């Protein structure tokens, strides 16, 4: 509690090493709140500043935090090929409206080893024709990998865009058996 009797937001973070590079994981009491690709020092610092501004609390590095323990375990198991589904509490406070609706549908309705088109996902949330808006929602996903925006592709067979970079998207889809492993 702070001096005004309000519960202070607690945000714990750590960086984990994965096959696609370092990922920053951040969690609140409500669940995993942010996953950030390519978490070099500069990227990490910028992400932590954004989190502090959005959540009203400075994130604290704490790799041993109980808030992060299960997320760390499940991310490691996913990249080891031992886990296909994340079963984590998620804090959706960084995203609202249509974007939240699309990401929730993605998380619950597009399983490991499958893909969905941007337009198809728009239709699933009752907004046929909103493929571009779905693309924007994917780009604003605060929980990539766990909320699998890498599984959203173009309807013509193209891989589509990806905030973590196309090579990262290819590696994630290869891990899930959707694409062959890159040759080099």
Of 80-84, 125-129, 179-183, give the lowest mean pLDDT range. 179-183
User: So what's the pLDDT on residue 183?
Assistant: 59
Q: Say yes or no to pLDDT of 158 above 60.
A: yes
User: So what's the pLDDT on residue 6?
Assistant: 41
Average pLDDT, the chain: 93
Closest alpha carbon to 23 in 44, 54, 53:
44
Indicate which residues carry an active-site annotation: 149
For residues 142, 106, 118, 136, the Cα torsion angle rounded to the nearest 10 degrees is: -20
User: So what's the pLDDT on residue 180?
Assistant: 82
> How much of the chain, in percent, has pLDDT values that exceed 90?
88
Q: 3-state class of 95 per DSSP? A: coil
What predicted TM-score, i.e. pTM, was given to this entire model? 0.92
End-to-end CA distance of the chain: 52
């Amino acid at each position: 509690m702070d001096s005004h009797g309000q519960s202070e937001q607690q945000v714990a973070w750590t960086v984990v090493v994965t096959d696609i590079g370092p990922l920053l994981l951040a969690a609140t009491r409500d669940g995993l709140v942010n996953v950030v690709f390519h978490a070099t020092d500069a990227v990490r610092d910028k992400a932590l500043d954004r989190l502090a501004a959005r959540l009203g609390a400075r994130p604290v590095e704490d790799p041993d935090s109980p808030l992060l323990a299960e997320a760390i375990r499940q991310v490691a198991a996913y990249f080891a090929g031992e886990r296909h589904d994340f079963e984590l509490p998620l804090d959706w406070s960084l995203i609202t409206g249509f974007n939240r609706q699309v990401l929730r549908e993605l998380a619950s309705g597009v399983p490991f080893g499958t893909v969905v088109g941007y337009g198809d996902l728009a239709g699933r949330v009752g907004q046929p024709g909103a493929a571009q808006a779905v693309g924007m929602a994917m780009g604003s996903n605060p929980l990539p990998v766990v909320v699998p925006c890498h599984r959203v592709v173009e309807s013509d067979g193209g891989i589509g865009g990806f905030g973590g970079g196309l090579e990262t998207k290819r590696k994630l889809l290869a891990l899930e058996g959707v694409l062959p492993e890159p040759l080099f």
